[in-house]
A and B are shown apart, each in its own frame.
Chain A
Amino acid sequence: MSDDPQHINHTFDEELEKLNDMLLRMGSLVAQQLDAATATFSTEQNSKKGGGVQGRAKTMDEIAQREKALNELEQRVQEFAINLAALRQPMARDLRTIIVAMKVSDAFEAVGDHCASIAERGRSLAHSPYREQFGDIDKLRTSAAQMLQGVIECCRAWDATRALKAWQKDRHINALHDALLKDFSLFMAKKPESIASVVDFLSAVKYVERLGDRLKSIVEALHYAAEGETFAPPPLKQAALMAGARAEKGYKSSLRKTTAP
């Protein structure tokens, strides 16, 4: 989990590895959840080729199973971490690692819940006449998936140096969220009959934005575990982060290219 030498008592290292493996399994499940949840908005999945009603039901069933597995894993991480704290009486980095593992598992579980909520919205919009436009969630999905991948890499190595890159992805997600909110607010103003569908869609968008916040909190916690200090982006890089966020705002909505029915 780090470049530190092993503990004199090697079984403690094995236990910490086991804890880390459980977190990585949670990360892997969350990545599958995010893919599956955002795919419920794709027109292909809602077409007959993508399986239609049966395909959607199968997807929802798989999402429910993974959510259950995530909940169980979270419970196991919490119990295992409490046992390690009680029996090993860890200090310093070991103590921070165990406490942070509990926080990370809690955040992964919450991200899984958000994914399930996104999938629910996708399912309810399967027959919406505006579903073509809702494909715009893909841009958010890409950013969120990249951020999640960065978080998993951070988690694999407990490496604080990777944290900044993963952390700054949240700004891209926020910028995309704001842009989508603005575009679809205008869209609803022009087409009041779309309000019900768009509100559902925007709530899914909001879940992705919240999911980004949760992933950000994981990065900050992992940084704390590795370094023993609160995560703060270097001041010099702050400007670059802001520039990145502004660049994302330059995103072009598909609403400007397509005509709503």
Chain B
Amino acid sequence: MTTPDKHTDKPAAAKRQRAKIRARAVNVYYGDKQALFQVALEVPHKQVTALIGPSGCGKSTFLRCINRMNDVIEGCRVEGELTIDGENVATLDPVALRARIGMVFQKPNPFPKSIYDNVAYGVRIHALAQNRKETDEIVRQSLARAGLEQEVASRLNDSATALSGGQQQRLCIARAIALQPDIILMDEPCSSLDPIATARIENLIAELSQNYTIVIVTHSMQQAARVSHRTVFFHLGRVVESGETTQIFTTPRRKQTERYITGRIG
């Protein structure tokens, strides 16, 4: 295990939060190619952690380690230890693990079903409700938490694909939180949205961070600065620096971080 130093992950003692996710010496290989090198970091509970870095730096690869999505990629091998609440994810049942971890992707991916069924789908699969009334309540609460309830209340049976891009993305967030996860992973959730829809999602992220641990991959430095409490900078498969978002964007400690966030390396 590599010891986290001040440049990898060590929140200030005064503000230290319990680590929800802890990675130690995580290496990921796609066949012979190594994508992550000795990644060691902590993701605090009920905070937003942004992963930034140039394309191909390993931030999405790391995100997929958390819910073992890499398992479904042929030739992908993960080494090291990644724990959630102290439990090694490698030893958990992947289906149960993914029920605890919601995921929102770059492009909204609603099922070709009604708005109601999109949110109720996972609830039924995982038998989280005893009857229709309970399902209705979970759907309503999830849509409300995703800031979508008022907009779709009168058309729950309409097709989800008829919603706007921003609404579809919030529906995907509602679908994720309907399973009452501990963690929400977001992989560039606003990259296909306009500024208004982006602002709505960012507002939602701030609200959701009261109850969930959120890890977001973003290419927008401004978005990372706006929504996250902590920021991790990846480069060439390694964690170069992580820390409080304010510190990273005003006084990064590593030259490499500074050069990236000021637009001096691509």
Using CB atoms and an 8 Å cutoff, list the residues of chain A in contact with chain B: 4-9, 12, 89-96, 228-229
A-facing mask of B237-266, CB < 8 A → 1, else 0?
000000000000111100001110111111
Query: Which 7 residue pairs are nearest across A and B when measured between Cβ atoms?
Result: A228-B251, A91-B261, A92-B258, A94-B262, A7-B263, A5-B264, A91-B249
Instruction: State the CA gap A228–B257 with chains docked (Å).
Output: 14
Task: Report the minimal beta-carbon distance from B220 to chain A, rounded to whole angstroms.
Answer: 10
Q: Which of B222, B249, B265, B266 contacts A92 (CB 8 A)?
A: B249
User: Which A residues are in CB contact (< 8 Å) with B97?
Assistant: none
Task: Report the minimal beta-carbon distance from A230 to chain B, rounded to whole angstroms.
Answer: 11
Q: Contacts A228-B250, A228-B251, A229-B251 known; A89 to B262 CB distance under 8 Å?
A: no
Chain B facing A: main interface SS:
helix
Pair B263/A12 contact, Cβ less than 8 Å? yes
Pair A6/B264 contact, Cβ less than 8 Å? yes
Asked whether any CB of chain A lies closer than 8 Å to the CB of B221, the reply is yes
Instruction: State the CA gap A149–B211 with chains docked (Å).
Output: 56
Pair A93/B262 contact, Cβ less than 8 Å? yes
Count how many chain B residues have C-beta atoms less than 8 Å from C-beta atoms of the other chain.
Answer: 16
CB-nearest residue of chain B to A90: B262
CB-nearest residue of chain B to A5: B264
Chain A facing B: main interface SS:
loop
CB-nearest residue of chain B to A94: B262
Pair A93/B263 contact, Cβ less than 8 Å? no
Pair B264/A8 contact, Cβ less than 8 Å? yes
Pair A7/B250 contact, Cβ less than 8 Å? no
Q: Which of A4, A9, A90, A229 contacts B259 (CB 8 A)?
A: A4
Task: Report the minimal beta-carbon distance from A196 to chain B, rounded to whole angstroms.
Answer: 51
User: Which A residues are in CB contact (< 8 Å) with B249?
Assistant: 91-92, 95
User: Which A residues are in CB contact (< 8 Å) with B251?
Assistant: 92, 96, 228-229
Pair B263/A92 contact, Cβ less than 8 Å? no
Instruction: State the CA gap A93–B257 with chains docked (Å).
Output: 11
Instruction: State the CA gap A90–B225 with chains docked (Å).
Output: 12
Pair B250/A95 contact, Cβ less than 8 Å? yes
CB-nearest residue of chain A to B253: A228
Pair A91/B264 contact, Cβ less than 8 Å? no
A-facing mask of B79-105, CB < 8 A → 1, else 0?
000000000000000000000000000
CB-nearest residue of chain A to B264: A5
User: Which A residues are in CB contact (< 8 Å) with B250?
Assistant: 91-92, 95-96, 228
